[in-house]
Amino acid sequence: MANIQLQPGESVIGQGMMAYWEPVLGSACDVWRGTIFVTNQRVCFQISWTTHMEVELRRSEIKGFTVGKHLFATKVTIHSKSGKKFTFTGFPAKKLQDWLRQAGVQEI
């Protein structure tokens, strides 16, 4: 499984394999498979076949999260204070909600 470089005082709350839906051209999206990390300081998503962090949000940049459905799958969308949305699906979607709450992110 992927790993992240932790900052001083940072600890991992949870991590798991998920899919990230990156919006392109209106209603279309690219779907990337990788690992999401929730720490006490940030939320990161690393694409499986690279070492690149596709998403890296400091806790202070996160407004909150919403939960919805896409067909039969639960999706969790993280909203940044700048208005960007980051949508994730996968088996740990319910765990992701708990990890975000533990990190102090509110459901909106």
7 inside domain: no
60 inside domain: yes
54 inside domain: yes
Instruction: Count how many domains the chain has.
Output: 1
2 inside domain: no
> What is the length of the chain?
108
107 inside domain: no
Question: Which residues constitute the domain of residue 80?
Answer: 12-102
Q: Which residues contact 21 (CB under 8 A, 6 or more apart)?
A: 29, 30, 31, 75, 87, 88, 89
State the CATH number of the domain containing residue 97: 2.30.29.30
What is the secondary structure of 2-22 as a DSSP string? ---PPPTT--EEEEEEEEEEE
Position 43 scores a pLDDT of 96
Q: Does residue 31 have a pLDDT over 80?
A: no
Q: Does residue 1 have a pLDDT over 90?
A: no
pTM for the model stands at 0.85
